[in-house]
Amino acid sequence: MIKVSVIIPSYNEEKDIRKCLSSLQEQLFRDFEIIVVDDGSTDSTKKIVKSFKDVRLIEGKHKGPGFSRNLGAKKAKGEILVFVDSDMEFDKNYLKKLIEPLIKNKEIIGTTHETEIVKNTENIWSKCWGGIRVSKENAHKVKIFRSIIKNKFLEFGGFDPKYGYADDQTLWFKYKLKPIVAKNTICYHKNPDNLKEVYKQSRWIGSSIDLGIFNLSILKYLILLSLMLVSPLAIPLLSLKKAHSIRNFKVLFPWMIIFMAFRYSGSLEGIFRQIYLKVNMR
């Protein structure tokens, strides 16, 4: 039986999927299969995936990454599932180190990686987003399972697509389960590199926010109206805060201001889509 199944949801990823698959094929650990679950791409993503002989392609409909990951898990042959994104690349020991705790300790359900570095920091919009997604210092706070025992994953019911952007944190939301940090696991992830993608990503995040107590229609209306009214003040303050968090005040004006304006307005549309359209898709 195959030890590991690497599952990759994809939606219009023609710019990045080739590098992701090539990076996986260079892994020193070899006992794994790669499954790409296409989420209804309209570009050349599927054509590129088909050019890789050892990659399984499952063609789905546009129902979001959570649905695609679950579909891939059901079709997987591996004992262990690994979930990655189409715009990621990996250190050659990534898979080996990621599953090591699961092999050594049968009590562990799943793991997450220790270091996730942004790979396109030369781009100004990516730079505004930040250069490190996961560090050794904050990895223990991560709620995303990058590897998990297949039987356990299916037993928990997989990921819940209703969480949208955060569907890969389902096990935390539903069961308060967090993964173990696998030491010496390094991967590289791409940030949105143009304002259109910054807006779309922010819209998706906004549409996935849990509004909790704002379920009453009047409160929903008020929170959206309030966010719109405070935007002239919120955008510069959030820009300053973000520049401080990434320790780079050189990008504050005009780049961070522009970046945050797109992030903020995208988030507002996302919240609107969630409240009134019940949509949390990318």
Q: Tokens at residue 252, please? A: 């504050």
For residue 22, give the nearest of 46, 47, 43, 51 by alpha carbon: 51
Domains, the chain, with CATH or none: 4-189 (3.90.550.10), 195-277 (no CATH)
Query: Rounded CA gap, 271 and 210, in Å?
Result: 10
pLDDT value for 1: 65
Q: Radius of gyration (Cα) for the chain, nearest Å?
A: 19
pLDDT value for 281: 78
For the chain, 282 residues long, the average pLDDT of each consecutive 10-residue run is 92 97 98 97 98 96 94 98 98 98 96 98 96 96 98 97 94 97 98 97 91 63 87 96 94 96 96 85 80
- The Cα angle at residue 1 between residues 23 and 171, in degrees rounded to 5: 70
